[in-house]
């Protein structure tokens, strides 16, 4: 009893200490302080109705959960709750047509056909994934069975009514949908388990579906015979009831509609042929990354596409994915939506929609409809929601700025007129937040802008607004480039007669952006081991150098340059000590030509034990597994200390001239244990950060933290030790269920506020092009804009030791420059010209080539025989 009391007191004391030190977020904090009962007046905002109408200073009257009136100068009835949205942006609640949130299980993967299982039987209204979706303005979703089966389970269309009873989540008159899947997932191409399950080929996937429908037809016929016979024979014996075949029979009868996971064009065409043959209806292909290749066929068949905005290269099926897919499909007449398929991505679907302006030149209305009206059609609830119209459900999202700007955040989400999310500024960052109520879109066809000749010695960019970063902007300025370097910057700079002149009037010039942590050039398709050179076997490999494996022909370089990134740190990732990184240009014929500095730093993955696991993952593990992980982490940390100790002794002995047996690994450690070059510690947890700082102090290492998701919890310690942090990726969830929902996004602002120098990393190749937008989101959550721009330019250069060459527009530095039509951190901004080492680089890529190729096809006549049967 006494020990139990002491433990309880200790726990409460610990909780009190923690809550006094850092903000927390409990359910009581997540409950809105406004309750409307489904009746309210939202007034004073800019209303985007989704029907082509924009009302400035408008109001919405909600009665009994329905929109009763929309317009200006509406008068609230007596006693009704009034929500002041002055200066804010009001739009229909965002709809995610493809998610796996709020469920206890995703895949029943024991069989290739599981049509009888139902997602709504495993809904979890208390799931924090619902709340996190609400924080991004999402009000409804189709939460789906997984894609492990050719024919999976039945999906559920829900509203995100967090912590309400299950029946209140389900949309009562939504159609019934079933999940199908094609390609790598149902054939288990990337499954590493021991079980081999039919099918293992695309041929088998088609056969599985065909066999299932043949059996369902026989099942229907058996019941029809029974029903006919029972009219005259009371002793007729009914067929055995089969829940799986009943579900498939409902698909054939048109009572349940197919939503199909698919990537490749050929497999989509295959299912369309089966749909015509068996008479079932396909609502949409999900992901549909090659839908642009068969857009005319899909449009003629009336099949929708719900896709990613720009996610690609994570497996072979996704290598022809292009960010223009949604725009091409929409322009071909296909009902198109952008989905999340991710709890994390769901919170920023508004930004995913903005990408379809950048890639494909959609209008603002078209982009917003990708996450409102069109997904509502795809999941059968457009009669209820998806637009703001009188009589529809009052599902509404309110943003503090333009919802397609990286600088905007959702501040309130209503479902059926009731407030389910209200922003709580737990960190006090909103007062420094950047907010933009307009976005600037340049409609110049930037893909048709000719690249200046690359064989000139001198270039002059004239008439632009120049942002040197280290000095104030220069209006109507000139940047003179000579022999690969910046020769002069300023106003009234004389332009040599032999210089190639780029007229940049109305444009902006920035230093090329820097990704301070990536695997660019070391990986191509992450699921294909033969294309991945990031992770070597063994725990301690300090002599490995990333530069030797950089592939200059990687398609990721051109894709990443497109957003203005001209240089990156690329690094190995395996083991405990992974090896040494290099800073490279994102263009060049050979690795040597691309290399800016090598080596740059040593990379250590800090052994964290349980500290590396998010709280939800710990809950899923058994006590013995938790114990094993904790012990394993401790053992790995001991081995790291022993190795560092050996490296220090080796360096000390060499300094004294003592004879040593040459050891290539310990030799590689010498610049680091002597403090000449930095050691980048990769860790996200507070435990890992503290461990890294202790190791740095014990062994005299020049420490940098990379990742640092929980750095805000030890920000004073980092500031005291003057240790910089390379933050990222920001596309991540809080590490604990009790951290504020915006902790990863506010983290950079909190580090800056404490005086910690920061840069940003993508920690990726395929998503490196998202880095500027992650930095922009950090501004929305309190990081001052000027500091954000420094973090992705001069700060990154200083931390990586290349600030004498990169990071600002100053005479003598390498001419890594971008010429843009707007803010490079805004998604809709286009890069018009890009220079690396003083040479203009064409802004074309695998993606632009496929876009231009297939853009021509949507103008061709509709192919014959593509029509889908009516449901």
- 702: part of which helix (H) or strand (E)? strand 702-707
In this predicted structure, what is the pLDDT of residue 582? 98
- Residue 287, judged by CB atoms within 10 A of its CB (0-12, 13-18, 19+), counts as buried
Element counts in the chain: helices (H) and strands (E): 25, 35
Structure tokens at 319: 């290598």
**CA 437 distance to own-chain centroid:** 23
In this predicted structure, what is the pLDDT of residue 22? 85
**Alpha carbon distance 114, 181 (integer Å):** 12
Tens of pLDDT along 142-178?
999 999 999 999 999 999 999 999 999 999 999 999 9
Residue 566 has pLDDT above 50, yes or no: yes
* Nearest CA among 794, 224, 192 for reference residue 469: 794
Helix (H, G, I), strand (E, B) or coil at 222: helix
* Nearest CA among 345, 338, 274, 280 for reference residue 305: 338
β-bridge partners, 836: 839
Calculate the alpha carbon distances from 385 to 171, 334, 415, 757 in Å.
11, 20, 10, 45
In this predicted structure, what is the pLDDT of residue 865? 43
Under the banding of pLDDT at 50, 70 and 90, the label for residue 15 is very low
Structure tokens at 92: 């229909």
Structure tokens at 378: 């795809």
**Alpha carbon distance 355, 369 (integer Å):** 13
Calculate the alpha carbon distances from 192 to 110, 183, 195, 319, 527 in Å.
15, 16, 9, 21, 11
Residue 845 has pLDDT above 80, yes or no: yes
* Mean of pLDDT values over 300-320: 95
Structure tokens at 745: 């996004």
**Alpha carbon distance 379, 166 (integer Å):** 19
**Alpha carbon distance 260, 271 (integer Å):** 9
Residue 613 has pLDDT above 80, yes or no: no
The answer to whether 583 touches 597, Cβ cutoff 8 Å, is yes
- Residue 143, judged by CB atoms within 10 A of its CB (0-12, 13-18, 19+), counts as buried
The answer to whether 820 touches 844, Cβ cutoff 8 Å, is no
Question: Cα torsion for 863, 865, 870, 871, to the nearest 10°?
Answer: -100
Structure tokens at 119: 């997602």
In this predicted structure, what is the pLDDT of residue 620? 66
Helix (H, G, I), strand (E, B) or coil at 6: helix
Residues 6+ apart with CB under 8 A from 216: 245, 248, 249, 251, 252
Mean pLDDT of the residues in the chain: 93
Residues 6+ apart with CB under 8 A from 868: 272, 275, 276, 281, 282, 301, 302, 303
* Nearest CA among 321, 291, 320 for reference residue 304: 291
In this predicted structure, what is the pLDDT of residue 656? 87
The answer to whether 834 touches 512, Cβ cutoff 8 Å, is yes
**Alpha carbon distance 587, 181 (integer Å):** 38
Residue 869 has pLDDT above 50, yes or no: no
Structure tokens at 868: 């889908």
In this predicted structure, what is the pLDDT of residue 367? 97
**Alpha carbon distance 394, 63 (integer Å):** 9
Tens of pLDDT along 744-789?
999 999 999 999 999 999 999 999 999 999 999 999 999 999 999 9
Question: Cα torsion for 359, 365, 367, 372, to the nearest 10°?
Answer: -170
In this predicted structure, what is the pLDDT of residue 486? 98
Residue 430 has pLDDT above 70, yes or no: yes
Q: Which residue has the tokens 């596309």?
A: 731
How many Cβ atoms sit within 10 Å of the Cβ of residue 5? Answer: 9
Tens of pLDDT along 57-106?
999 999 999 999 999 989 999 999 999 999 999 999 999 999 999 999 99
**Alpha carbon distance 224, 710 (integer Å):** 63
The answer to whether 634 touches 609, Cβ cutoff 8 Å, is yes
* Nearest CA among 46, 794, 32 for reference residue 408: 46
- 97: part of which helix (H) or strand (E)? strand 94-99
**Alpha carbon distance 425, 433 (integer Å):** 11
Global pTM value: 0.94
Residue 659 has pLDDT above 90, yes or no: no
Under the banding of pLDDT at 50, 70 and 90, the label for residue 13 is very low
Calculate the alpha carbon distances from 521 to 304, 583, 595, 685, 763 in Å.
35, 11, 12, 28, 13
**Alpha carbon distance 305, 153 (integer Å):** 20
User: Max CA-CA distance within the chain?
Assistant: 106
In this predicted structure, what is the pLDDT of residue 628? 81
Tens of pLDDT along 345-377?
999 999 999 999 999 999 999 999 999 999 999
* Mean of pLDDT values over 669-687: 97
The answer to whether 133 touches 343, Cβ cutoff 8 Å, is yes
How many Cβ atoms sit within 10 Å of the Cβ of residue 208? Answer: 20
In this predicted structure, what is the pLDDT of residue 20? 45
Under the banding of pLDDT at 50, 70 and 90, the label for residue 192 is low
* Nearest CA among 814, 871, 365, 412 for reference residue 586: 814
* Mean of pLDDT values over 711-729: 97
Tens of pLDDT along 106-131?
999 889 999 999 999 999 999 999 99
**Alpha carbon distance 835, 818 (integer Å):** 6
* Nearest CA among 841, 861, 862, 843 for reference residue 852: 843
More confident residue, 4 or 469: 469
Q: Which residue has the tokens 């051109």?
A: 558
Under the banding of pLDDT at 50, 70 and 90, the label for residue 16 is very low
In this predicted structure, what is the pLDDT of residue 811? 98
* Mean of pLDDT values over 535-559: 97
**Alpha carbon distance 521, 523 (integer Å):** 6
- Percent of the residues in the chain that have a pLDDT greater than 70, as a whole number: 94
Under the banding of pLDDT at 50, 70 and 90, the label for residue 870 is very low
Lowest mean pLDDT among 265-274, 494-503, 621-630: 621-630
Strands 177-181 and 257-262: parallel
């Amino acid at each position: 009893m006494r020990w139990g009391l002491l433990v309880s007191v200790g726990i409460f004391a610990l909780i009190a200490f923690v809550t006094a030190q850092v903000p927390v977020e409990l359910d009581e904090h997540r409950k809105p302080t406004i309750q409307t009962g489904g009746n309210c007046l939202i007034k004073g905002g800019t209303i985007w109705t989704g029907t082509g109408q924009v009302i400035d200073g408008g109001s919405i009257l909600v009665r009994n959960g329905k929109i009763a009136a929309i317009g200006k100068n509406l008068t609230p009835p007596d006693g009704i709750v009034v929500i002041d949205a002055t200066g804010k942006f009001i739009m229909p609640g965002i709809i995610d047509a493809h998610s796996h949130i709020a469920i206890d299980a995703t895949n029943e993967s024991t069989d290739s056909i599981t049509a009888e299982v139902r997602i709504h039987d495993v809904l979890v209204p208390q799931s924090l994934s619902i709340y996190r979706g609400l924080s991004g303005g999402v009000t409804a979703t189709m939460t789906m069975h997984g894609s492990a089966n050719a024919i999976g389970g039945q999906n559920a269309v829900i509203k995100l009514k967090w912590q309400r009873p299950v029946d209140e989540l389900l949309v009562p008159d939504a159609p019934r949908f079933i999940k199908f899947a094609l390609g790598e997932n149902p054939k288990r191409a990337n499954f590493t388990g021991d079980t081999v399950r039919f099918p293992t080929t695309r041929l088998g996937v088609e056969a599985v579906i065909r066999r299932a429908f043949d059996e369902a037809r026989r099942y229907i016929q058996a019941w029809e015979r029974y029903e006919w016979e029972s009219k005259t024979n009371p002793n007729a014996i009914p067929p055995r009831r089969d829940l799986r075949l009943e579900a498939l029979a409902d698909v054939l009868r048109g009572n349940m509609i197919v939503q199909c996971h698919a990537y490749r064009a050929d497999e989509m065409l295959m299912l369309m042929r089966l749909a015509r043959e068996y008479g079932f209806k396909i609502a949409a292909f999900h992901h549909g990354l090659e839908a642009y290749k068969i857009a005319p066929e899909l449009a003629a068949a009336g099949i929708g596409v719900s896709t990613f905005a720009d996610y690609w290269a994570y497996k072979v099926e996704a290598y022809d994915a292009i960010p223009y897919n949604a725009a091409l499909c929409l322009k071909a007449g296909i009902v198109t939506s952008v989905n999340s398929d991710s709890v994390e991505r769901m919170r920023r679907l508004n930004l995913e929609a903005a990408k379809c302006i950048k890639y494909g030149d959609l209008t603002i209305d078209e982009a917003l409809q990708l996450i409102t009206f069109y997904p509502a059609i795809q999941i059968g609830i457009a009669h209820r929601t998806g637009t703001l119209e009188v009589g529809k459900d009052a599902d509404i999202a309110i943003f503090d700025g333009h919802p397609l700007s990286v600088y905007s955040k959702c501040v309130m989400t209503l479902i059926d007129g009731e407030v389910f999310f209200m922003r709580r500024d737990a960190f006090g960052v909103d007062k420094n937040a950047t907010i933009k109520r307009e976005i600037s879109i340049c409609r110049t066809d930037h893909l048709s802008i000719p690249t200046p000749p690359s064989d000139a010695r001198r270039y002059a960019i004239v008439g632009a607004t120049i942002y040197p970063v280290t000095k104030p902007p220069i209006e109507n300025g000139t940047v003179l480039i000579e022999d690969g370097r910046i020769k002069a910057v300023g106003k009234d700079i004389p332009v040599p007669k032999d210089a190639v002149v780029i007229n940049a009037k109305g444009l902006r010039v920035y230093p090329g952006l820097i990704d301070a942590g990536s695997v660019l050039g070391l990986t191509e398709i992450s699921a294909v081991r033969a294309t991945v050179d990031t992770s070597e076997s063994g725990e301690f490999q300090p002599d490995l150098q990333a530069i030797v494996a950089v592939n200059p022909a990687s398609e990721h370089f051109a894709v990443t340059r497109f957003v203005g990134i001209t240089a990156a740190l690329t690094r190995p990732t395996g083991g405990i000590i992974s090896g040494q990184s290099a800073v490279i240009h994102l263009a060049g014929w050979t690795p040597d030509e691309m290399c800016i500095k090598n080596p740059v730093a040593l990379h250590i993955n800090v052994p964290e034990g349980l500290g590396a696991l998010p709280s939800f993952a710990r809950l899923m593990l058994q006590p013995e597994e938790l114990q094993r992980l904790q012990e394993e982490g401790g053992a790995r940390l001991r081995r790291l200390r022993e190795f560092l100790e050996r490296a220090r002794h080796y360096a000390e002995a060499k300094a004294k001239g003592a004879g040593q047996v040459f050891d290539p690994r310990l030799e590689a450690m010498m610049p680091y244990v002597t403090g000449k070059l930095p050691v980048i510690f990769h860790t996200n947890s507070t435990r890992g950060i503290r461990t890294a700082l202790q190791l740095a102090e014990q062994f005299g290492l020049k420490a940098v933290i990379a990742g640092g998701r929980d750095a805000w919890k030890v920000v004073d310690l980092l500031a005291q030790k003057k240790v910089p942090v390379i933050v990222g990726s920001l596309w991540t969830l809080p590490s604990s269920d009790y951290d504020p929902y915006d902790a990863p996004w506010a983290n950079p602002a909190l580090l800056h506020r404490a005086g910690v120098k920061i840069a940003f990393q993508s920690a990726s190749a395929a998503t490196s092009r998202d880095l500027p937008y992650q930095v922009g989101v950090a501004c929305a959550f309190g990081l001052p804009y000027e500091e954000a721009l420094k973090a992705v330019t001069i700060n990154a250069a200083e931390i990586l030791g290349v600030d004498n060459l990169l990071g600002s527009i100053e005479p003598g530095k390498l001419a890594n420059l971008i010429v843009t039509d707007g803010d490079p951190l805004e998604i809709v901004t286009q890069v018009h010209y890009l220079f690396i080492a003083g040479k203009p680089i064409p802004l074309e890529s695998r993606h632009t080539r496929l876009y231009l190729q297939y853009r021509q096809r949507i103008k061709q006549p509709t192919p014959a025989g593509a029509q889908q049967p009516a449901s």
